[in-house]
Amino acid sequence: MVDAFDLSLILKKLMTETKHIHQINLLKDPVAPTLKTMTIPMIYGMILLMTFNLVDTFFVGLLGTQPLAAISFTFPITFTVISLTIGLGIGTSAVIAKALGKGDKESAKSLATSSLYLAAIIVGILAVIGYLLIDETFLLLGASEALLPLIHQYMDLWFIGCILLIGPMIGNAILRADGDTKTPSIIMGSAGLINAVLDPIFIFGFGPVPAMGIQGAAIATLVSWVFGLGYVLYILAAKRGLIHSHLMSLKDFICSSREILRIGLPAAGANMLTPIASAVLTAIVAEYGVSAVAAFGVGSRIESIACLVVLALSMTLPPFISQNFGAGSMSRVEEGYKTSIKFVLIWQVLIYVVLVLAAPLIADMFSKEQAVADIIKLFIWILPLGYGLQGVIILTNSSFNALHKPMVALVLSVIRLFICYVPLSYLGSLWFGLEGFFIGALLGNVVMAAISYNLFSKQCDKDRINVEVTA
């Protein structure tokens, strides 16, 4: 176990690296190397950030199937709030990057400050509602009365502290819009490291710290969020001058918020559809028992790690597209999009091979119950086949947001989840059980990837013509 001294040294090293950030020119630097330079730091940071839920799941899984099932039920809800902040971050990044592409730095600063205020207000309201409706929400998801006390242990604290998410989600979006992906990776990595170290201490106890079980996982997460928020605000205000150090006027806040929400609300809506769909899928899986729910929860978290590169690209590609869109460089927009698509398709094939080979080990790692382990392996053998195609969908949606076409991204998300993904999964489960459920989800990604790619290619052609006419 890493002790406090070791942790402080690691964090100190990470923080000093922010003094040596190379600023990328998104308008002039070569496309492929630029995207690579932006994405690699994001991957490093997200590897640790994505361990929030995975590490929680791993250690809670050691407590038994009931606690594992309880934390699996929390995933759709926690991801809903996280998706909201990601959506607001998308809106933030798009409007700031476009302003910077036009050379309007003062507007970018006002937009950045407003985005933090706005996210804090929205997430705070949602947290209060969620806290008051915990029992009703999770019973609706299919959780049993027996699991509710365990769910409360985690979610009561999670809802209280989730406003802290504005740090790693909104603050980092501001930095990415400016072409800086290294600092966000350091912030995410540091927070993830803190969570990983504190999880076993708070869950099982260590020295004077008592064992707190599933509640300890929530406390570890909150502590890491406190650090992330403080860190990002320090960088934004003191080091970079990307936000105002004084309170904004109500008039300026409303004006900037409108711009952010024009993209951020549809983007947030699109992102929040994913956990809603996940909740529906969890309810379907719940028909197969607690073991199936526990396995599905583990599989969902494995998916978040397996799609790490895609998620990193979905954060680095939009600022590139938005700045070049603002500058009228549609050829660079299209080149950036197609380069990213080619890469994720090849990359995810490699990921699938690794997952299949490691499936028995992964299943045994997360559960000692054979029934749960068998379903985890079934998940790994089928669903990762479509992760590359899922990557096409994710990158296309983020690219439409970057082009300030959030409603197109929202419509595509609705079609994907509620016309393709969920219906095909449900039909598959009716006909072939859990195996059919996973195959249906795979087919949903195949259909939607083809639709998404063709639509974005047509949009690029249309925007290129508009730019040429305007010029």
Give the model confidence (pLDDT) of 416-447 as tens digits: 888 888 889 889 888 888 888 888 888 988 99
Nearest CA to 53 among 378, 306, 297? 297
Q: Report the range out of 13-17, 19-23, 270-274 with the highest average pLDDT.
A: 270-274
Rounded Cα–Cα distance for residues 372 and 439 (Å): 19
pLDDT digits (tens, 9 = 90+) for 174-184: 888 887 878 88
Answer yes or no: is pLDDT of 22 > 70: no
Q: Which amino acid is at 383?
A: L
What residues form DSSP beta bridges with 209?
Answer: 206
What is the chain's length?
471
Does the pTM surpass 0.75? The reply is no
Burial tier of 226 (Cβ tally within 10 Å: 0-12, 13-18, 19+): middle
Rounded Cα–Cα distance for residues 158 and 215 (Å): 9
Confidence of residue 1 (pLDDT cuts 50, 70, 90): very low
What average pLDDT does the structure give for the chain? 81
Confidence of residue 305 (pLDDT cuts 50, 70, 90): confident
Rounded Cα–Cα distance for residues 330 and 164 (Å): 37
Residue 4's pLDDT is what?
Answer: 47
pLDDT digits (tens, 9 = 90+) for 104-159: 788 888 888 888 888 889 889 989 998 999 888 888 878 888 888 888 999 999 99
Rounded Cα–Cα distance for residues 161 and 158 (Å): 5
Query: What token pair was written down for 407?
Result: 């409603």
User: ∠ CA(341), CA(346), CA(352), 5° rounding?
Assistant: 120
Question: If you search the block for the tokens 């080979």, which residue do you land on?
Answer: 357
Q: Would you list the domain boundaries of the chain?
A: 4-13+32-470
